[in-house]
Structure formats: structure tokens, C-alpha cells
Structure 1
Amino acid sequence: MPIKSYLAHPHDGKKEELIQALSNINQCDVLPAENEDVLVLVTETETKAEEEILKQKLETISSLKMLAMVSGFNTPKKN
């Protein structure tokens, strides 16, 4: 299952709106920075198709200015 972490930068004045939008997506965990206008976003999906759907959802969030991937890896399923 792909697990990825990102730095999410909101548009000016839109941090709380971005936190709410990302928190409403099941595959996302959001950790807001306390002293900066940036969020840490961790995503986890089961399949490549689910990852693509998540990517499309993220692209539609109007309060999101920039999303920079920090780390990504795929944990193979054990039989």
C-alpha cells in the first residue's frame, strides 16, 4: 500500500480551510505546523487506482497553493 508524506502550503489566509478540506478525505492525516503556515499531509491508499482518485481530489482543493512530496514508499501486502 502506498504511503506518502507531503508539505501542503495553503493560499494566504486559507490554512484552516485547507485543514478542514484535507481532514474530510479518508486517506489523509493532517498535522498543522504550530508556527508556520504549512501542513504535513500523510496519505495511505490500497491500490494505484485509489491513489489516482486521491490525487484528483487533492487537485480540486481551492485552498491548496502547493503540495510537495517529501517521502513515498510502497509496502507490499503479505500473503
Structure 2
Amino acid sequence: MINFNAYVIELEADNTYKVCIENVYKGVVSDNGLIDDAVTTFESALSTVIEIMFSYDYDYVEVTRGKSRKGRLYRKYVISVDNGD
């Protein structure tokens, strides 16, 4: 198992999130408007990135949530990836 720290910041409510996974990925995930009534959440933004970046089974646990200095909501996670070791 490999563990990674991650955080997700809400840039636009239910639409756009910044996802950062330590030493792996840093970028923005948003609803592209192709699916009716699609709502992006903290968890769906994080799991989308995890599924793209890792080809192994994974699990994640939310460890904290709050507001950034800019007043944006955020959540921190610990991701456990089963890499077969």
C-alpha cells in the first residue's frame, strides 16, 4: 500500500474543483456540461483524478474540511493505493 495526501478546493459550487495529490497531480476538474443534471462534488472530482492517475485499487478517507484563506471550501484526504506490494 502506498499512501498519498490530497486536497480538493471548491472553485465554483458543484461545478469546478482544484485537485492536488502530493507529488502526483495538480489541476482543475469541472463539469463539462455534456451530461444533464451532472453535479461535480469533492468526492467525484477526487475519484476522477485517482482513476486516471492510478491503475490499482484505491480507497480514500476524508481527514479534515474547512475554508481556505480566500474563503473557499476545501477537504483534505488520505488516499491508500494497493500497488500489489
TM-score of the pair, normalised by structure 2: 0.32
Instruction: Select the structure that is richer in strand.
Output: 2
Q: Which structure exhibits the higher relative contact order, with contacts defined as CA atoms closer than 8 Å and separated by 6 or more residues?
A: 1
Normalising to structure 1: TM-score of the pair? 0.34
